[in-house]
Structure 1
Amino acid sequence: MDAAVIVVGAGPAGMMLAGELRLAGVDVMVVERLAARTGESRGLGFTARTMEIFDQRGLLSRFGDIETSDVGHFGGLPVDFGVLEGAHQAAKTVPQSATETVLEEWATGLGADVRRGHEVLSVTGKEDSVEVEIRGPSGVWTARAEYVVGCDGGRSTVRKAAGFDFPGTAATMEMFLADVRGITLEPRMIGETLPGGMVMVGPLPGGVTRLIVCERGTPPQRREKPPAWEEVAAAWQRLTGDDISHAEPVWVSAFGDATRQATEYRRDRVILAGDAAHIHLPAGGQGMNTSIQDAVNLGWKLGAVVRGRAPVPLLDTYHAERHPVGRRLLMNTQAQGLLFLSGSEVQPLRDVISELIRYGDVSRHFAAMVSGLEIRYDVDGGSHPLLGRRMPDVELTGHALIRRSIEALRPARGVLLDLTDNARLRRRALPWRDRVDLVTARPRELSGTGPLADTSAVLVRPDGYVAWAAPGSHGDLPMALERWFGPAI
């Protein structure tokens, strides 16, 4: 094998997955068609859930000072994240170029082999491996791996070569996205519609301005290269009457509202993640964030299977858990598109939803949906409220090194958090000590309050989700350990 896992695509999903696999001790090769990072800002910022993921791996500090906000939107209608319990703030104005740089430096620092300027031509599954035909600077060659993961975007070569079904709806319109310098424009929020379409203006660091332009009735085009700036400026003038042709474009792109999802995320030894598995209208920066979360869900599972620590059926839970998340993402972005891209005919709908959002339960529902905080996996079926949800970050006392629960997740291993110093419980978990860390500590909050109230122990997966809790789980601890971490040693 040239690598245990070949990841195709060095975007946020691919590099996050590479880092997770290296934390699991797996050799990984990342194959990327582009010779260098584009430097384009594209996806901006992180949802609250992605902020938690980066925090659990100790990555947040690498982004420097991050501007955060508890205000978001659904289809251009304001959503207050502050209605959710806890400090769930989203990051603003972090360009995708910075995210890609941080993740690549992290993954390569862990030992990932990144091959830029290498284009995948074909993918062929074998009984015990996958062969990938690659064209690189020195010619065409074939690499072999136990598994291949396509993180190569909406036009994924891996998805097409492996024969994945990708049903959905084709694009019905085209939108322009541009970052420019040399102009001063009043900010315009998404949702401020014009008679002929929609425009958005947002300031970015370094004197750059983000523009989005959508003319209703503009048919989508199959472009092989980005549109010219003159095309974008002309559309802006038709919609607003303003001439911005003198601005200096940093980069320009076009995108549509196509919505598709792979019917399965894994076919034998070929797996899809990120935009290779689902495409949709960009709305609220959910695409990149969901892709990163795909990678974190998959990484520890694939690592455990490759290293022989868990049986292959563990990989089935990747599709079972992430496909519904992707399906819901497509639903909510389609709904948002109707709200901020349609004309005056949907204004009554906007007005009704604006009224509904003022109700606390509705506001919490929308905030949890667009932030990723609503996700709950079917891990046990028990009654404990934390089962299948992300382990909340709580302050701990009684442990010499770990002061916050999220710090226990830095090594990307399972964690058994013993909250009552139960020696018998820890003895039952000892046969999994090569995969699960045993942490004895107490919540700092007063007894009977907080997310761990009336909880004696919690088993947390490497991705941060609770797999077992006492009391309240259906099965006992060894059953949960074997299900998620494989047989005892």
Structure 2
Amino acid sequence: MGGMTAQVVIAGAGPTGLMLACELRLAGVDVLVLERDAERADAESRAGGMHARTLEVLDQRGMVEPFLRAGRPLPGGHFSALPLDFRNLPTRHPHLLVLLQRHIERLLEEHATRLGVRLWRGAEVTGLRQSGSGVEVEVLGGGPQGNGRHGEAGQRWMSAEYLVGCDGGRSAVRRLAGIGFAGTSATLTAMLGDVELDAPPEHPLFQERREHGTISVLSFEPGWHRVMTTEFDQVAGRDEPVTLEGLRRACLKIAGTDYGMRSPRWLSRFGDAARQAVEYRSGRVLLAGDAAHVHFPAGGQGLNLGVQDAVNLGWKLALVVHGHAPDSLLDSYHAERHPVGARVLENTRAQTALSRVDGHTTALRATLADLLSLDDVNARLSSMITALDVHYPMDGAHLDDRAHPSDGAHPGNGARARGGTLLGQRRHLMDGGHPVESAHLVESALPDADTLSEVGTLSGQEADSEDGGRSADGGHPLVGYRVPDVELEIDTGEVRVFELLHQARGVLLCLDGGAQEGPAAHLAGIASEWADRVDLVRARPSADVWQGPVVGAVRPPVALLVRPDGHIAWATGARPDLDGARAALTTWFGPARR
């Protein structure tokens, strides 16, 4: 293979590809992003929001503020249009941030440009060849001219150490790599239109279930609305044209009005097919985002799932490219993220089933709505939708575990949630003898964002053991979960945990307050062997209790190893487990430097 075009080539400049490029470039990897479209789609925005865990991973990199300024926070979300209250989730971002995908992509691209990411637009991946030392990628069009913004004619081959397909549900990379895409076919037809309305519904976030389907009318920005219809038990042909008249007919059939729709900005049609790549890695080719999983857009999880794929993969790939960690570390990407993706596919299937308009489903929805008045039920579903409850096994044994849905592996990944409250309301109406459920999403059931209390305060009862409680496998209960973003006191002042992750390095955090005989004194020698990849930080916690969405209130560990993605890989109590620390450092950051 000839000289390298880039260490890593990414196909696709959507949110997943751009976030992955930022992660890799931050770690010093030479990365090239290839985007098939010659221009960024400013009129098209498939996704419309960011959940708490996605905001947290942006916060971990010090890049969340532009997104918060551009978006609008709502204090809850929904599960199949049944309101969820996010306000009591243990996070600094207990809300859904309403922000259209085109703005998300613009902000990510601006950040990627500042980091020095190369982006070629008008560049389509048409072929690939793998070898033991790299991958060759055939590209049609694209090039560095015009700052990489416009494609040029011709085909070329370029080489890289790794190729990552972030090129959407019809991924060319997935097809060329021969990776299967297993799942279930569509059972319904949904239409979406960003249109102007002369007679919109009174409420800005409106959804109704009626005899012939469901309809949503959402006000994202002044001057236009997003209208979405769903008709069950009918699947449109792929080649059937998508027109304003078709959307109008669906609205009239379901709602009895077209709300005076006109001037479409963007029209789309989709179904509820739910499919997932059989493997997220095939040699030197990896998949992330919609290239790895597609599902019905229920609960607004898709974009968030892809961005979190990128944050899980980026630091691992950087360690391998730089020669710090063995290639087998990349197997943990599939082992950790495939179950998370499978769980999203399962919960979106459940949400589409709950959206059906027959009497039995209406009764089931009423039962679930009653259950959601219980704090634990609301917290469990809220933690799942926001991905705050994601847990990864940290013993290293899963690195070679390629569990797939067909193997009978449970998609829940052991995730649980508890805590929280629900203030949701529902109305059951009768319309011509047919049951109608009207759910004014989120804002009708919850107070305005201005009334939200400040988040980040930790509460609860202290655990009895000196190690802060034990998980089922004998470790600290927080191991495997994302680290709480608590305030710490260090020699130079106060710092949040997430601020320690801004450079996407590992953090060995010792909470002994700098005691002469504390754990840091024992761990300093070990930490020095990984100093090129992991920072040793000595601090004093400002709170005696840490709060997690699953584990509840626990005493913080005395020392912990935090991975660059924010998940806790190892933790110990007053007696430092030096062998455990060394094993965790080796597992997740490669052998100690010589």
Q: How does 1:375-454 map to 2 (within 5 A)?
A: 375-380=390-395, 381-400=473-492, 403-420=495-512, 421=514, 422-445=520-543, 447=544, 453-454=555-556
- Aligned-pair distance for 1:189? 5.6
Residues 181-190 or 55-64, more deviating: 181-190
SS in 2 for 1:374: coil
2:90 matched to 1:85?
Answer: yes
**1:282 match:** 297
Structure 1 residues 114-159: Cα deviation after superposition (integer angstroms, max 9, x where no partner): 1100111112212211111111023011111111000001000000
The correspondence for 1:307, drawn from 322, 331, 335, is: 322
Could you tell me which amino acid in structure 2 is paired with residue 487 of structure 1?
P
Residues 146-295 of structure 1 aligned to structure 2 (within 5 Å): 146-186=161-201, 187=203, 192-223=208-239, 227-244=242-259, 246-295=261-310
1:13 aligns with 2:16: yes
Query: Structure 1: which 5+ runs fail to align?
Result: none
2:7 corresponds, among 4, 7, 21, to: 4
Q: 1:168–1:260: 8 Å Cα contact kept in structure 2? A: yes
| Aligned equivalent of 1:35 | 38
Q: Structure 2, unaligned stretches of length 5 or more?
A: 142-151, 396-472, 515-519, 548-552
1:95 aligns with 2:110: no
Matched letter for residue 61 of structure 1: E
1:466 aligns with 2:558: no
- Write the letter of the residue equivalent to 1:481: L
Aligned counterparts of 1:326 and 1:182: Cα–Cα separation in 2: 36
Moved more, 162-171 or 188-197: 188-197
Q: What TM-score does the superposition give when structure 1 sets the normalisation length?
A: 0.95
Residues 292-301 or 453-462, more deviating: 453-462
Are the equivalent residues in 1 in contact too, given 2:220–2:226 (CA < 8 A)? yes
Give the 3 Å change call, closer, same or farther, for CA 385–184 of structure 1 in structure 2.
farther
| Secondary structure of residue in 1 paired with 2:366 | helix
SS in 2 for 1:167: strand
On the 8 A contact 2:52/2:91 being kept in 1, the answer is no
**Aligned mates of 2:186, 2:216 — CA distance in 1:** 20
Match of 1:202, as an amino acid? L
In terms of fraction of residues, the more helix-rich structure is: 1
Partner residue of 2:128 out of 123, 128, 138: 123
Query: Which residue identity lines up with residue 540 of structure 2 in the other structure?
Result: R
The code of the aligned residue for 1:213 comes to T
- Post-superposition CA distance 1:292-312 (Å, at most 9, x none): 000000000001001101111
Q: 1:173 to 1:185 in 2, by over 3 A?
A: same
Q: Does 1:479 align with 2:583?
A: yes
Tell me the percent identity. Answer: 46
Shift of residue 223, structure 1, vs aligned partner:
3.7
| Residue 456 (structure 2) aligns with | none
Residues 342-381 of structure 1 deviation map (CA, whole Å, 9 limit, x = unaligned)? 4333112111211222222222211111110110100134
* Cα shift at 1:193: 0.5
* Structure 2 Cα separation of the partners of residues 378 and 307 of structure 1: 25
Match of 2:382 among 367, 383, 397: 367
Counterpart residue identity of residue 23, structure 1: L
1:314 and 1:275 mapped to 2: Cα distance?
22
Aligned mates of 1:345, 1:154 — CA distance in 2: 33
- Residue 169 (structure 1) shift: 1.2
Moved more, 279-288 or 381-390: 381-390
Does residue 327 (structure 1) correspond to residue 345 (structure 2)? The answer is no
C-alpha separation between the residues in 2 aligned to 1:21 and 1:401?
30
Supply the AA of the counterpart residue of 2:31.
V
| Alpha-carbon distance between aligned partners in 1 of 2:387 and 2:51, rounded to the nearest angstrom | 7
Q: How many residues align?
A: 487
Give yes or no for contact 1:193–1:343 (8 Å, CA) kept in 2: no
Distance across 1 between alignment mates of 2:45 and 2:483 = 31
Tell which structure's C-alpha radius of gyration is larger: 2
Letter of the aligned partner of 2:526 in structure 1? R
> Is contact 2:197–2:260 with CA below 8 Å preserved after alignment?
no
Q: CA deviation digits over 1:406-435, x for unaligned, max 9?
A: 100000000111111222222221110110
- Aligned mates of 1:488, 1:73 — CA distance in 2: 46
How far is 1:188 from its partner? 7.5
CA shift, 1:68, in A, is: 1.7
Amino acid at match of 1:488: A
Q: CA deviation at 1:449?
A: 6.2
Counterpart Cα distance in 1 of 2:91 and 2:158: 47
| Aligned-partner Cα distance in 1 for 2:263–2:128 | 41
